[in-house]
């Protein structure tokens, strides 16, 4: 019997507005609106039949809602990360506890971790087929990439490091459509030639998509021309407003991590 896909999510902290900022200026963030937008995001997955499991709320971690940075999953291998920002390192134990609960419930997982000798954020890891593109960014260093490669190579994955200097994470600049086409907003991509095939999109917030299965993707509501471009390629596009997370340099990929 086919298994239902499953994501981990983490509710936004009331302190979201205090989250890390690297490339953007700080603007006001409304915690009530953030929660409403987060619920809409989660509903997009639930409406497509996905199981959604919450990591325990952590009000003290302003950036905890960006749960993909704490975990990279490849097949049944779940690699807990060593986040590059010191303020975010305390997010990992809560994600580890959620994995242990899933394992106790019968989800088949091998848990590994990036040690503190290296740093790596999940937002820097883009899986396309058997390739893991990994951004060498302000958050992810060579040792983090080396450790990740050692973990995933036995699972048949090849790690390809790529430069990231114009945005926070690799996946702030590029993600992939279900057919493996890498999509990105060229002014924010260091080396578009690293990705084949590559499709340039007209809006910054159109670069991030999550594959919902069955030819559907979820993306930001703030990129209507890119949504049309994807629809013209035959995709069923679900748009969600995530302005309060985009204000903190987040996007649709970082608000969840698929574990099955
Ligand atoms: C940070 O700077 O760490 C957060 N404010 C945003 C993290 C977004 N995560 C992601 O793109 N994977």
Averaged pLDDT for residues 113-132: 98
Token pair, residue 258, equals 């698929």
- Residue 74 and residue 157 in contact, taking contact as beta carbons nearer than 8 Å: yes
- Residue 74 and residue 127 in contact, taking contact as beta carbons nearer than 8 Å: yes
* Closest alpha carbon to 154 in 112, 91, 99: 112
Q: Catalytic residue at 254?
A: yes
Residue 254 has pLDDT above 70, yes or no: yes
Question: pLDDT grade, residue 2 (50/70/90)?
Answer: confident
Q: Tell me how far the alpha carbon of residue 197 lies from the centroid of ligand 1, in angstroms.
A: 26
* Closest alpha carbon to 177 in 129, 131, 224: 129
Q: Catalytic residue at 48?
A: no
Strands in the chain per DSSP E: 6-9, 51-54, 71-74, 77-80, 110-113, 125-128, 131-136, 158-163, 174-176, 182-184, 198-200, 209-213, 216-220, 236-240, 257-258
- Residue 252 and residue 209 in contact, taking contact as beta carbons nearer than 8 Å: yes
Cα separation, 28 vs 244, whole angstroms: 9
Token pair, residue 58, equals 């952590």
Q: Ligand 1 atom 7: the closest Cα is on which residue? A: 250
Tell me the best of 248, 255, 258 to mutate to test the pocket of ligand 1, counting ligand atoms within 8 Å of each CB and taking the most. Answer: 248
- Residue 118 and residue 124 in contact, taking contact as beta carbons nearer than 8 Å: no
- For the CA of 171, the closest atom of ligand 1 is 11
pLDDT, mean over the chain: 97
Q: Tell me how far the alpha carbon of residue 120 lies from the centroid of ligand 1, in angstroms.
A: 12
Averaged pLDDT for residues 63-92: 98
| Number of Cβ atoms within 10 Å of the Cβ of 186 | 13
Percentage of the chain lying above the pLDDT 70 cut: 100
Averaged pLDDT for residues 8-23: 97
Token pair, residue 46, equals 């639930």
Cα separation, 21 vs 25, whole angstroms: 7
Residue 110 has pLDDT above 90, yes or no: yes
Domains of the chain (ranges, CATH numbers):
6-165+244-258 (3.75.10.10)
Q: What is the DSSP string of 150-192?
A: HHHGGGT-EEEEEE--SSSSHHHHEEE-TTS-EEE-GGG-S-G
Averaged pLDDT for residues 30-41: 98
pLDDT tens digits for range 60-75: 999 999 999 999 999 9
Looking at 61, 169, 205, 251, which residue is catalytic?
A: 169
ipTM of the assembly? 0.98
- Residue 183 and residue 144 in contact, taking contact as beta carbons nearer than 8 Å: no
pLDDT tens digits for range 157-180: 999 999 999 999 999 999 999 999
The response to whether 246 counts as a known ligand-binding position is: no
Residue 1 has pLDDT above 70, yes or no: no
Q: Tell me how far the alpha carbon of residue 166 lies from the centroid of ligand 1, in angstroms.
A: 14
Q: Ligand 1 atom 2: the closest Cα is on which residue? A: 20
* Closest alpha carbon to 189 in 155, 209, 212, 162: 162
Question: Which residues form ligand 1's pocket by a CB distance below 6 Å?
Answer: 19-20, 22, 63, 66, 68-69, 85, 88, 123, 168-169, 171-172, 248-251, 254
Tell me the best of 16, 87, 254 to mutate to test the pocket of ligand 1, counting ligand atoms within 8 Å of each CB and taking the most. Answer: 254
- Residue 9 and residue 255 in contact, taking contact as beta carbons nearer than 8 Å: yes
């Amino acid at each position: 019997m086919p298994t239902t896909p499953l994501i981990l999510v983490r509710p936004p902290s009331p302190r979201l507005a205090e989250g890390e900022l690297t490339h953007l200026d700080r603007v006001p963030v409304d915690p009530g609106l953030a929660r409403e937008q987060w619920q809409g995001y989660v509903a997009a997955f639930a409406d497509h039949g996905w199981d959604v499991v919450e990591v325990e709320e952590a009000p003290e971690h302003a950036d905890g809602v960006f749960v993909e940075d704490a975990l990279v999953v490849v097949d049944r291998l779940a690699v807990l990360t060593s986040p590059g920002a010191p303020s975010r390192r305390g997010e990992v134990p809560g994600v580890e506890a959620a994995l242990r609960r899933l394992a106790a419930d019968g989800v088949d997982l091998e848990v590994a971790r990036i040690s503190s000798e290296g740093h790596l954020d999940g937002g820097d890891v883009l899986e396309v087929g058997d390739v893991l593109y990994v951004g060498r960014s302000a958050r992810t260093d060579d040792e983090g990439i080396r450790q990740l490669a050692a973990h995933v190579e036995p699972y048949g994955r090849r790690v390809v490091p790529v430069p990231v200097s114009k945005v926070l994470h690799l996946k702030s600049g590029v993600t992939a459509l279900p057919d493996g086409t890498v999509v990105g907003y060229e002014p924010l991509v260091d080396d578009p030639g690293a990705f084949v095939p590559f499709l340039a999109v007209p809006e910054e917030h159109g670069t991030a998509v999550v594959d919902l299965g069955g030819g559907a993707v979820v993306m930001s509501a703030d990129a209507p021309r890119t949504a049309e471009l994807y629809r013209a390629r035959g995709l069923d596009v679900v748009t969600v407003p995530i302005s309060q997370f985009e204000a903190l340099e987040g996007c649709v990929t970082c608000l969840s991590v698929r574990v099955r």
